[in-house]
Amino acid sequence: MEFSAKQLAQVLKGTVDGDPQAKVTDFAKIEHGKPGQLCFYANPKYEKYVYTCRASVLLVNKDFQPKQPVTPTLVRVENAYSALADLLKYVSAQRRTDRRHRGFRSSWFLTTKFGKKVYLGSHSYVGHHAEIGDYTKIYENVYVGDNTKIGKHCIIYPGVCIYPGMVIGDNVIIHSNAVIGSDGFGNAPQADGTWEKIEHIGNVIIGDNVEIGACTTIDRSEMESTIIGNGVKIDNLCQIAHNVQIGDNTVMAAQCGIAGSTKIGKNCILAGQVGIVGHLTIADNTTVAAQAGVIGNVRESGQVLLGSPAIPSRNFMRSYAIFKRQGQAVPSQGKGDDAGK
């Protein structure tokens, strides 16, 4: 779909600051914006990208005053985050209208490409214009949406749901009841205290030699892609939020949760029940111990983190020694302490 800055301003009840005829056909995060794309700026943490963004149009709050020259045409709106939610909802509705469910017709076999010796189990569905690579096995009761691409020698176990437009590499194993491409948890707060759902129109890209555990969910991005690198191993019951990027050969144990737009480096180890907040960057070769909560960027490679909030292991052990001594020094306050006196 194509919009001009003028059209966007009319739809979103905003004003244009720049070229009203600037055209956009795609969405991108502000740090990746290129000509022909629309980005938005609402979080002050990302202001530095306003001045490096090369997108054609940038949604901003009406009171934003740039401190440096800006390349994109600005569309000023009351609330950039809410305006983006409205725009994504409109685009998503149009896409759903275009993607009418057509079922198993004779044309289905013409639009879907199956490689050599593909196994498709009973009651499984592969959508229109999907591509399935050689020797891939799709077991019973699996859903593969339209325009999804699955590579060679993959194993998709029963009950897996893969939404439309996902991209899965070679030698990937996805265990039962995993969900690839569900909407991320994105909601824009409204003035009346309610929340407006932000539609997600991006996808998930999974590299080669990846294994994804049972009942794990990987959300598609608001725009662009959630990315799982080559050789990543994800255990059961993990949650990977929208726009997350996980570097090659990183592993994570059960019940880990990664919040939106966080970037995990290569060769990291996340133990069970690790939680990482959104919009962080975790350096390569980081190890995070079980039940740790990471609330800040990890810039130094090779660290081992413990605790919540997570800190380097050496600092944690020193702190723990103090906690332990203080706990031992506190006298018991039980009701029976003075009994018999």
| pLDDT, average across residues 200-208 | 95
Same domain, 21 and 53: yes
**CB-based contacts of 214, cutoff 8 Å, min separation 6:** 157, 175, 176, 177, 178, 236, 237
Q: How far apart are CA 112 and CA 127, in angstroms?
A: 7
State residue 30 phi and psi, 5-degree precision: -60, -30
Does 116 lie in the same domain as 91?
no
Identify whether residues 118 and 87 lie together within a single domain.
no
Q: With bands split at pLDDT 50, 70 and 90, how would you rate the model's confidence at 106?
A: very low
CB count in 10 Å sphere of residue 331: 6
Do 183 and 161 lie in one domain? The reply is yes
Per-position DSSP letters for 83-117, written without gaps between them: HHHHHHHHHHHHHHHHS----S-TTHHHH-EE-TT
> 75 and 223: one domain?
no
Task: Give per-residue pLDDT as tens, 65-87.
Answer: 999 999 999 999 998 988 888 88
94 plus 114 within the same structural domain: no
CATH (domain of 135) = 2.160.10.10
- Check whether 146 has a pLDDT greater than 80: yes
- Dihedral-angle region of residue 36 (phi above 0 means left; psi in -120 to 50 means alpha; beta otherwise): left
Average pLDDT over residues 117-124: 94
SS3 278: coil
End residue of a domain, out of 98, 121, 142? 98
The pLDDT of residue 341 is 36
pLDDT average, residue stretch 35-41: 93
Of all residues in the chain, the percent with pLDDT exceeding 70 is: 91
Residue 309 is assigned to a structural domain of this protein: yes
In a domain, 340, yes or no: no
Q: Is 294 inside a domain boundary?
A: yes
Q: Is residue 69 part of a domain?
A: yes
Mean pLDDT of 134-150: 96
pLDDT at position 190? 82
In the chain, how many domains are there?
2
Least confident of 4-13, 146-155, 237-246, 263-272: 4-13
Arithmetic mean of pLDDT over the chain: 90
- Does residue 116 sit in the same domain as residue 92? no
Is pLDDT above 70 for 331? no
Per the structure block, which two tokens stand in for 134? 């050689």
Between the two ends of the chain, the Cα-to-Cα distance in Å is 84
Q: Give the residue numbers marked as catalytic.
A: 242
Q: What pLDDT does 207 receive?
A: 98
| Domain of 71, in residue numbers | 3-98
94 and 165 part of one domain = no
Domain boundary among the residues 29, 63, 98 is at 98
More confident of the two residues 164 and 341: 164
CA dist 213 and 204 (Å) reads: 16
pLDDT at residue 100 tops 80: no
Distance CA 244, CA 38 (A): 20
Confidence of residue 15 (pLDDT cuts 50, 70, 90): very high
Confidence label for 98 from pLDDT (cuts 50, 70 and 90)? low
